[in-house]
């Protein structure tokens, strides 16, 4: 082989190596940005050790009156006798008015979000509390005070008088995917700082029995039980990506967590005593199907969303939407499920305008709808219709 041929061969090989190596290097750089976390026998223990001090046990005390509506009342024949109930003397002739009050103790979980004593938990954990006792991982106990509670999202903030606490690192729930590993820490059934491990089973779950479907939940198979409510759901970097909230009672390992992106915004507003502005449309919706389409006398397309109910004085009513409208598009995007409308509303702010295209009396109609502020109460403008339990608007 001549020197010239050898030189040409070497140059060709070098150019080929560049073509192959450069893309490989780029692919490696792309993988590096994902910050993959190795999972070994120590990974979960390390997360529990580092985040555990930021997780607290919350004991809630409620005082309730003894229920005696069906209790027989007898006149005592001798004045020497006393009636005792729950260890306290009572007048047998006046049980309904002078019944002793008893304490009901419930437990939940919470996560410290600021080192000066602010704790994030669920609203249902502290609802109705007359006294709150917070126990940290070092077994110190504090009296807790509810700074603010938001029943719409089922989130609350509790304050204890302490400083230099270990606060959890809050991550993001924006790009989490089904199949990712997660860790839950909390106090199920009073067993504080219990650690469980699993995966994200699904994202964007709408559960109408929890918060009226106001929040799209993270579903996880990490074991969650009563008492875990308010505790953190963590990724393998030890960042909080959700607040554990509910379980499916008739199943195993089907739990739901509020995404941390929702919790961060709400908790900040609660701590700063800000008004939480929520976009609202004010309709109840149903998924189109064969039966509904035939009853309405419209083409059997099974597309669009049927408006079953319009709330009185709601943005929907003020803007001109009516019961019986079939929503086909919003801002030019096809609408196929009630969730599409919920997502469109939630993606905008109060006073933003959405452009609806609806079918009314078999005729297309364009309606500009100005999003309003979610009210405390709302009433139907028309006779109530039975909503589709799988897809009501729930206050959008």
Q: Dmax of the chain from CA atoms?
A: 129
Residue 246: phi, psi to the nearest 5? -150, 160
* Rounded CA separation 128/194 (Å): 26
Does residue 229 carry a catalytic annotation? Answer: yes
Residue with tokens 């929503």: 327
Judge contact between 190 and 227, C-beta under 8 A: yes
d(CA 123, CA 149): 6
Catalytic residue among 109, 123, 124, 201: 124
Contact 158, 145 (CB under 8 A): yes
Q: Taking the mean position of all CA atoms in its chain, how far away is CA 155?
A: 8
Q: Which of 150, 154, 325, 388 is catalytic?
A: 154
Q: DSSP assignment of 18-79, as one string?
A: HHHHHHHHHHHHHHHHT-PPP--TTHHHHHHHHHGGGEEEEEEEEEEEPP-TT------S-T
Catalytic residue, chosen from 123, 153, 201, 229, is 229
Dist CA 237 CA 169 (whole Å): 9
Reading the block at residue 33, the tokens are 């940005």
Give CA–CA dist 383/354, Å, rounded. 26
Q: Which of 186, 226, 182, 144 is nearest to 54 (CA)?
A: 186
Q: What is the DSSP string of 141-175?
A: EEEEEEEEEETTTTEEEEE-S--SPPPPEE---TT
DSSP β-ladder status, 239-247 and 169-170: parallel
Q: Are 220 and 257 in contact (CB under 8 A)?
A: yes
124 is a catalytic site residue: yes
Verify whether residue 154 is a known catalytic residue: yes
Please report, for residues 315, 342, 395, the alpha-carbon distance to residue 346 in angstroms, rounded to integers and kept in the order given: 14, 6, 11
Which residues on adjacent β-strands are paired with residue 194?
Answer: 186
Structure tokens at 377: 């109460």
Helix (H) or strand (E) holding 115: none
Q: Which residues are catalytic?
A: 124, 154, 229
């Amino acid at each position: 082989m001549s020197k010239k041929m050898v030189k040409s061969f070497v140059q060709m090989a070098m150019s080929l190596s560049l073509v192959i190596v450069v893309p490989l290097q780029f692919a490696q750089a792309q993988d590096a940005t994902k910050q993959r976390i190795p999972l070994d026998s120590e990974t979960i223990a390390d997360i529990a050790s580092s985040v555990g001090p930021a997780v607290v046990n919350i004991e809630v005390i409620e005082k309730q009156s003894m229920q005696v509506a069906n209790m027989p009342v007898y006149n005592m024949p001798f004045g020497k006798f006393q009636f005792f109930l729950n260890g306290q003397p009572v007048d047998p002739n006046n049980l309904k008015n002078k019944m002793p009050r008893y304490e009901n103790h419930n437990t939940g979980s919470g996560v410290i979000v600021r080192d000066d004593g602010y704790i994030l938990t669920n609203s249902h954990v502290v609802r109705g509390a007359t006294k709150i006792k917070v126990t940290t991982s070092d077994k110190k106990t504090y009296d807790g005070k509810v700074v603010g509670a938001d029943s719409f999202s089922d989130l609350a903030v509790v304050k204890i008088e302490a400083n230099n606490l270990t606060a959890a690192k809050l991550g993001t729930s924006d790009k989490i995917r089904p199949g990712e590993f997660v860790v839950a820490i909390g106090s199920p059934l009073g067993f504080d700082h219990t650690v469980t491990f699993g995966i994200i089973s699904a994202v964007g779950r709408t559960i109408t029995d929890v918060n009226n479907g106001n929040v799209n939940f993270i579903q996880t198979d990490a074991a969650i039980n009563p008492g875990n409510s308010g505790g953190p759901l963590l990724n393998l970097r030890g960042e909080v990506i959700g607040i554990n909230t509910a379980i499916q009672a008739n199943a195993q390992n089907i739990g739901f967590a509020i995404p941390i992106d929702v919790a961060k915004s709400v908790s900040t507003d609660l701590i700063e005593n800000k008004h939480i502005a929520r976009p609202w449309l004010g309709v109840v919706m149903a998924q189109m199907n064969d039966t509904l389409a035939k009853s309405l006398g419209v083409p059997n397309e099974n597309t669009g969303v049927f408006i079953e109910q319009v709330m009185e004085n709601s943005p929907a009513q003020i803007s001109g939407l009516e019961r019986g409208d079939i929503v086909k598009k919003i801002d030019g995007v096809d609408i196929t499920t009630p969730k599409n409308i919920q997502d469109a509303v939630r993606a905008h702010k109060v006073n933003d305008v959405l452009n609806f295209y609806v079918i009314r009396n078999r005729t297309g109609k364009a309606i500009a709808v100005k999003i309003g502020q979610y009210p405390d109460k709302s009433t139907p403008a028309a006779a109530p219709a039975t909503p589709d339990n799988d897809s009501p608007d729930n206050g959008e």
